Structure 1
Amino acid sequence: MKTYLSITALFALATTGSAQEKIVDTLKTASLEQVVVTGQFEPQSLKKSIYNLRVITKEDIKRLAANNLADVLSQSLNIIIRPSGSDGRSAISLFGLDGQYFKILQDNVPMVSDAGLGNNIDLTQINLNDIERIEIIEGSMGVTHGANAVSGILNIITKKGSDTKWELSATVQEETAGAEYAPFKAGKHIQGLKAGHKFSENWYASLSFNRNDFDGFKGDRSGPDHVPNDGTRGYQWLPDMQYSASSMLSYAKDDFRFFYKSEYFREKTAFYNATVNAVNNPPFEPIRTADDSRYFTTRLYNHANISGRLESGLRYNVSASYQNQKRETEDFEYNLNTKSESGSTKYKDQSSVVLYSTGTLSHFFMDKKYDLQLGYEFNGQNGFSKVIAENNFVKDVRRQFNNYDIFLSGEYAATEKLSLRPGARYSFQSVFDNQYAASLGFRYLLPKQVELRTSFGKSFRTPNFEEMYSELIFSGHYFIGNENLLPENSTSYEASIRKTFSVSEKSSLSTVLTANLLSVKDRISMALISVAPIAKSQYINISKYSMWNVAVTNQFRYGEFSANGGASLIGISQRLDNNEAVSDDRYLYTFQGTANVSYSILKWESALSVFYKYNGKQQTYISSFDEEGNPVFKPSTVSPFSLMDASIRKTFYKHYEVTLGVRNILDVTSVRQTSANAGATHPTSDNVMFAYGRSYFIKLTYNLNF
C-alpha cells in the first residue's frame, strides 16, 4: 500500500521531471539557454541541439551534497547504481544494460578503467571537485563517440575559467555509515582544497586535492580484531581510502582555446577474511591468524585540447590524452594475537596504458543552412592481466588493441525550425573485423514552444579484455575467454516532444515525453562448449537483447520554489543461451519514478532540498537446474525499493557554507531477490545488500573569491 501511495504522490505533484535537468532560471526557457557541447559541432544552446540532452548542473550537485558520481546518478531516471560492499565498487546500469554499454567521458575524452576505456568505470572513483556540469545522452552514439557508446554517454564538463582573479575553497565533511560513526575510526571523513587563479584576461590555472576516508561498515560483522572463528570477522562494506589531485591550465583569446588537465587518483581498499585460522601453541594460547588482502588502484589522466578557427573559416577541435591505470593486490597474514602483519606479497594483477586522440574540422560552407564535420579518433591500448591457467598456474597476459576511426556528420537547417543531421563512422580495428556506425537526427520546432526530436543510431561494442583472454581453470572448473569473439551490434530509435509553458512572470513549466527502442545482437555470454572429459565453458556470441522505454519528465518553477519529477516504464526482452538451456524471451517490465523539490530562502541565504526515487521490481533470468538436475534458466525478481535524501544549505558571513542532510531516509539496507524453483511449492529468496542504511552528514565549505 505504501508503494502505491508513493507513486500516486509522485504523479500528484504534476511537476514531474528528472532530477538531473537544469531548473528553469527565468520564465523564458532559461534551461533551454543552457550551453551544451556533447555531440555538437560547437557549443550551442540546449534548444538548438539535435539530441535530447539532459543536464546535471553544479547547483544540482550541491543540492545533493554528492561526494562522487554514484551519489549524483542515484537519483536519475532510467539509471540504476549497483553498489557492492564486497569490493567497494559502484557500477552503472542504463536500460538494463551494464556499464560495458555506457560510455563515460571527461571533456569529450573517455576515461580509463580496469575494464576498458570509458566503460564499466567505478563511479565512486570520480571526484566532483572540478565539475561544471554533466551532460547525458541516451541511445546509440557510435558515430560521435565510437565503440561501446551503445546505451548512452555521460560527459563530465570541467571548469576552465573564472570571473574573479582568485578562487579559494576548503571543504570538510563528516558522515555516518548507517548508525556507525566515530572521529577517524568509523563513518566517512572527507577533506578538499581548491585554488584557482586568473593570471590575465586570457590565462587561468587551478589546483585541487581531495581525501575521502571511508572506514567501512560492519553491520552484523565484528571488525578486523574479532578472534572467534564464527564467520563474523571483518566488514559488510569494505574500508576504503581515496586520494585525488588535479591541475588545469587554460588559455582563451578570440576564437582560440587551449587547456591542459592532469589528474592523479589513488585508492586503497582493505579486505579482512571472515575465517580465523588457529594453530596450537601449548602451553600458550593458540596462534590465531587470518589471510587478509589490500587492493590498490592508481590512475593517471592527462588531456590536452586546442580549438579555434582558421583563416578560411574552418573550425578545429583536437584532443590528445595519455592515461595509465593499474590495480595491485597485497596479500599478507594478520596475527590477531599480536595485531601484526607478516609474509606480505604485492603484485600487479591488471593494468591499462592508453594513448588516445580525437579531432574534428567543421564549418566547411559559408551558407549557414549547411554544416559538415569531419573527424578522426585514434585509440591505442596496452592491456595486462594475470589469469589462472591449467593446474593453477598463474600466467601474465599482455595484448595491444588499436583502432583508427574516421567519421563524417552533416547538418542541414532547412529552416530556422527544421534541422537534419546524418552521420557515419568507419572503424579500422587491429584485433576485430572493421566496424561501422551510422545515425540520423531530426529536430523540428513547432509553434507555442513545442520541440520535436527523433533519432536513429547504429553502434557496436567490442569484447573486453576479460571476455577475450580470461582463464579460470582449477579442480573441475574450466572457464575461458575467446579471442575469436565478434563485436556486438546495436540499433536504437528515440523520439521526444518537449513543451514549455509560460505560466506567469514568476513561474514556468516544461514537459518532455520520450520513447526509446534499443536492440543488441551477437551478445556475448559464457556458454558450455564441451562436456568430456570435463565440462568446459567459454565466452561466445550467442544471446540477444531488446528494450523499449517510455518516460515523462517535467520541471516546474515558481519564484524560488522548484519541483521536478519523472516516471519511466521499461520493457526488456533477452534471449539467454548457454548451449545447455535457452531462456524465455518475453518482455519483463520495470517502473521507475523520481521527484524532488527545492526552495531557496533568499532572506536567510539558505536552500532546502528533498529527493525521492522509486525503483520498481526488476526481473531477469538466471542459470540454474531443475529438480532432475537439468540446466534451466529460472525467473528471478529483485523487489522494489525507494530512496530518499534531504538537505538544508545555509550561508554565513558570505564565505561560509554549511550543509546538513540525511541520505537514505527510508533506511534501505538489503533488497530481496527471489527465484522460482522448478517443482517447488515456494520460491527461494535471498537478500542482496544495496546500502548500509540511513546516514547523516554535515558539510562545511569556506569560499573566498576576490
Structure 2
Amino acid sequence: MKNFLKTFSFFFFLTISVFSQTDSVKTILNEIVITATKSETPYYQIGSSMSIINSDLIQQKQLKTIVDVLKEIPGLSVTQLGGPGKQTSVFMRGTNSNHVLVILDGVELNDPSSPSNAFDFSSLNVFDISRIEVVRGSQSTLYGSDAIGGVINIITKKGNDKPQYYFEGEAGSNNYYRSSLSALGSYDKLNYSVFASRAESKGISAANSIYGNNEKDGFANTNFSANLEYNFIKNWKANFTYRFLKSNADLDQNNKFGDDPNYTFKQEEHIMKINLSSLLFDGLWKQDFSVSQIRRFSNAVDLPDAVHKKTSSDSYANGSRFKVDWQNNLYIVPQNILTFGFDNETEKANSSYNSNSDWGPFNSVFPNQSTNTLGIYLQDQFEYDKSFFLTAGLRYDSHKKFGSVTTFRIAPVYFVKETNTKIRSSYGTGFKAPSLYYLFDPAFGNPELKPEKSKSFDIGIDQFFNNGNNSLSITYFINNIQDMFGFDKNFKTVNIAKAKTSGVEFIASAKINEITLTGNYTYTNAIDDYELSPEYKQELLRRPKNQFYFYANYNLNQNFDVNLSIKYVGKRIDKDFSSFPAKRITLPDYTLINLATSYKVNNLITIYGRIENLFDKKYEDVLYYGTLGRSFYLGVDFSL
C-alpha cells in the first residue's frame, strides 16, 4: 500500500506540473465564502484553512448524503456505527467529534440532549444543499462554544427567477431506494424553495457480519424543508426557514456477537428560523437579526428476544435550543469591514433510561434542565494594496453556570498577484461549554465544571496555475486542548484531561482538457497529553494518522460523465468495550474504490449509476461494527 501511494502521488503531481501554466486566476480565488468571517469575502482574502464543495460537484460525484461529502474533505475523519443510517461522528484535525460545530442555514445543529453536545450526521442528505463550507481550526471568536476543531456550515438552495421543478429517484443494493421532489422559484417579491425526500433500506447487519452476525438492520428517513424570502421594502428582506426530519434505524449491541433483532432507534427533529436583514446608508451598514429554534426527540428501545431474554432497555431524550442573533457589518472605511454583534442562546434537555439485565433493573432520570449563554463579538477585516489582508476578532461569552470566557483569533494573508500565490496563517483560542448532562446529571454531573479550552495554529500556502484550474496547497496545524471533560474515581465529571493534535494537509487539483483530477492527503497525530492518564502520549481513538483521497472525472460534451474515486484510511486505534478493562485494538488500514457514470439524455432527463466499494473490501471503521460491501445503484434525475 505504501508503494502504491508513493507511485500514485508521484505520477499525480508530475501530471499537474506538466500541464500547469501561470495565468490570471478568475475562478477559485474570487469565489465568495461566508463561514470564516460571517461576511461575503473572496477566498483569496481568507486566512483560515477551508474547503468548499458546491451542488454541481456533489451531483457530479453522485454523493447522496452529507456523510459521503465529508468523507472526501481533508482534515476530517468519519465513523459510522454500522453503515448508512446509523450514528455518525466526524473528527476534525484529530479533535473530538463534539468539538465540531455544525450549522445549517445559520442554525446550530449540535444536540443539547446529547451527553457531549455532539451532532449525529446519519440522517442528513444533500437533496437541498447549495454548498458546504468547512473551516478548520478554532472558530470560537465568531461562533462561541463547540467550534474548537472547526465549523461545518451547510447552506441550502434558495429560489429565484423562473420556477424550477426537480424529481430524483434511485434504487440499489440492500433494497435501498431514495426519492426527492423540489420546487424553486419566485413570485413577485417572494422567493421560495420547497424540498421533500424519502430514503429507506433493509440495510446490513450493524454488528459486523464477519463474526457471524447476519440479521439485517435497516433504516428510513424522511426530510422536508421550506425556505421563503420576501423583499418587502427596498434593501429590507425577511426570510423564514423550516426543516423537518424523521428517522428510524435498527441497531445492534456493541460487541463481537452483537446481533439484536429488537433494538430500534427513532428520532424527530424540527428546525425553524426567522431572519430580518437590511442594507442601510447606501450599503454602508448591513445588519441581520435572527431568531431560531431547534427541537429534537429521540427514543431507543431494546425489547427482549430469544438470545437476550433478560435484557431490555428504553431510553428517551428531548432537547432544544433557542437562539437570538444580531449581526452588523460596517463598510464605512474603505478596504475595511467591521463586524460586531451579540447572540443569546438557551439550551434545554431532559432524558430517561430504564433497563433490565442479569444484574437487575437500572433506572436513571435526567430532569428538565436549562442553561443560558450570552456572547458579544467584534471582528475587523483589513486590506492593504489588494495583497495583504488581516482578520482579527475578539469575543466575550457569559455562561449561566461557569461564568465568563474570552476568546480571540487573528488570520493574516499575503497574496502575490504576479504568481497567484497565497500565504496564509491563523491563530485562535476556543472553548467548549459543558453540556447539560455533564453539568446536571444526578449521578455523573458536576455544576462546578469549567469549559474546555483550546489554542490552535496553522500556516499554509496555496499556489494557483492555469486560470485557477490547477492548484497546490499545503497546511501545517497544531491544536492544544486543556481542561477536557473526564471522570474521577467516583465517575463524576471533572476538568482533568488534555490532548494535543498536529499534522499536515496536502491538497492538489488539475484540469486537463475534459479530465479533472483532485487529491488530498492528511497526516494527523492526535495524542492523550494528560500526564496522569494511563494512556499518556498514546493515540486518541478512531483518528487515523494517514488518509488519502483521489478523484478523477472525465466529461465528454457536457453529456457523459465517468468518475473514479479512491479513498485510503490508515490504521486506527479503537477499544474493545465489551471487556473490562477495555482493551486497545489496532484496526487495519483499507482502500475503497468507487466508480460512477451519468448520461444526460436531454435537457430534462439524466440517468446515472455507480458502484461503491468496487472490490468488496472487508473493513471496520469502528470495532465490531459492519460496513457496506460492494454496492450497486441506478437512478434518474428529471428537471423541468
Task: Give the TM bin, normalised by the shorter chain.
Answer: 0.7 to 0.9
CA 643–500 in structure 1, closer or farther in 2 if over 3 Å, else same? same
Matched residue type, 1:268: N
Whether the 8 Å CA contact 1:508–1:556 is kept in 2: the answer is: yes
- Give distance in 2, aligned partners of 1:221 and 1:600: 38
Aligned to 2:471: 510
Percent identity for Structure 1 against Structure 2: 17
Question: What residue is the counterpart of 1:59 in the other structure?
Answer: 56
Contact 1:232/1:274 (<8 A) preserved: no
The secondary structure found in structure 2 opposite 1:125 is coil
1:670 aligns with 2:622: no
Q: Which moved more, 1:296-305 or 1:322-331?
A: 322-331
Q: Is the 8 Å Cα contact of residues 212 and 243 (structure 1) preserved in structure 2?
A: yes
The amino acid that maps onto 1:691 is T
Instruction: Verify the 8 A CA contact 1:54 1:136 in the aligned structure 2.
Output: yes
Instruction: Report if aligned partners of 2:100, 2:147 keep a CA contact under 8 Å in 1.
Output: yes
Other-structure match for 2:609? 660
3-state DSSP class of the match of 2:491? strand
For 2:429 and 2:383, locate their aligned partners in 1 and report how far apart those are by CA, in whole Å.
23
- Which is further off, 27-36 or 137-146? 27-36
CA distance in 2 between partners of 1:374 and 1:133 (Å): 25
Q: Does 1:111 align with 2:109?
A: yes
Q: Which residue of 2 aligns with 1:69?
A: 66
- Mapped pair 1:468 → 2:439: yes
Residue range with higher mean Cα deviation, 480-489 or 641-650: 480-489
What per-residue deviation string (whole Å, max 9, x for no partner) do you get for residues 148-203 of structure 1? 1001101011111334x1111111111213xxxxxxxxx21111111123213x32
Does structure 2 conserve the Cα–Cα contact (< 8 Å) formed by 1:41 and 1:362?
A: no
Structure 2 CA distance for aligned equivalents of residues 414 and 360 of structure 1: 25
The structural deviation recorded for 1:242 is: 0.7
Q: How high is the TM-score relative to the length of structure 2?
A: 0.88
Q: Which letter does structure 1 place at the counterpart of 2:338?
A: L
Q: Where in structure 2 are the equivalents of 1:1-12 lying within 5 Å? A: 2-12=1-11
CA distance in 2, matches of 1:220, 1:399: 35
Unaligned runs of 5+ in 1: 18-23, 178-186, 223-229, 276-289, 337-344, 472-478, 529-535, 674-686
Q: Counterpart in 2 of 1:592?
A: 547
| 1:602 and 2:557 aligned | yes
Which whole-Å deviations, capped at 9, do the CAs of 1:235-257 have from their partners, x for residues lacking one? 3xx21111111111113476434
Does residue 95 in structure 1 map to residue 93 in structure 2? yes
Question: 2-side partners of 1:347 and 1:637: how far apart?
Answer: 32
Q: Which residue of 2 aligns with 1:260?
A: 240
| Equivalent position amino acid for 1:326 in 2 | F
Q: CA RMSD in A?
A: 3.4
1:697: which partner in 2? Answer: 633
Deviation at 1:272, TM superposition (A): 7.5
Q: For the structure 1 residues 622 and 542, does the alpha-carbon distance in structure 2 shift closer, same or farther, using more than 3 Å as the test?
A: farther
Q: Secondary structure at the match of 1:496?
A: strand
Other-structure match for 2:480:
519
Given candidates 546, 552, 557, the residue that maps to 2:511 is: 557
Structure 1 pair 16–352 and aligned structure 2 pair: CA distance change class (3 A) = farther
Gaps of 5+ in 2: none
Distance 1:16 1:456, change over 3 A: farther
2:535 corresponds in structure 1 to: 583
Give the superposition deviation at 1:498. 1.0
Work out the CA distance in 1 between the residues paired with 2:54 and 2:94.
Answer: 25
Q: Find the aligned partners of 2:621 and 2:55 in 1 and give their Cα distance.
A: 35
Comparing 259-268 and 553-562, the one that deviates more: 553-562
- Residue of structure 2 equivalent to 1:31: 28
Structure 2 counterparts to residues 184-583 of structure 1, below 5 A: 187-200=175-188, 202-218=189-205, 234-235=215-216, 238-252=217-231, 255-271=235-251, 292-311=262-281, 313-330=284-301, 349-363=316-330, 366-387=332-353, 392-446=362-416, 447-470=418-441, 480-502=444-466, 508-528=469-489, 536-575=490-529, 582-583=534-535
Change (3 A) 1:436 1:378: same
507-516 or 446-455, which deviates more: 507-516
How many angstroms does 1:466 deviate by? 3.6
Distance 1:348 1:583 in 2: 31
Report the AA paired with residue 592 of structure 1. Answer: Q
Letter in 2 for 1:667: D
Q: What amino acid is the match of 2:472?
A: T
1:15: Cα distance to partner? 7.4
Counterpart-to-counterpart distance in 1, 2:93 and 2:37: 24
Return the offset for 1:508: 3.5
2:396 and 2:206 map into 1 onto residues whose CA distance is 51
Question: Max radius of gyration: which structure?
Answer: 1
Going from structure 1 to structure 2, the CA distance change for 1:358 and 1:644 (only over 3 Å counts) comes to farther
Between the aligned partners of 2:613 and 2:163, the Cα distance in structure 1 is: 37
1:644 equivalent in structure 2? 593
Aligned pairs (5 A) from 1:117-136: 120-136=118-134
TM score, norm. by length of structure 1: 0.80
Deviation for aligned residue 1:395: 2.6
Is the 2:164–2:639 Cα contact (8 Å) retained in structure 1?
yes
Distance 2:597 2:262 in 1: 41
Residues 496-545 of structure 1 deviation map (CA, whole Å, 9 limit, x = unaligned): 1111123xx8x8321111111111011112342xxxxxxx3232221111
Q: CA deviation at 1:614?
A: 1.2
Q: Distance in 1 between matches of 2:204 and 2:30?
A: 44
Cα gap change, 1:241/1:156 in structure 2, threshold over 3 Å: closer, same or farther? same
Cα-to-partner distance string for 1:367-412 (whole Å, 9 max, x where unaligned): 2133321111111111111146997344342110110110111122
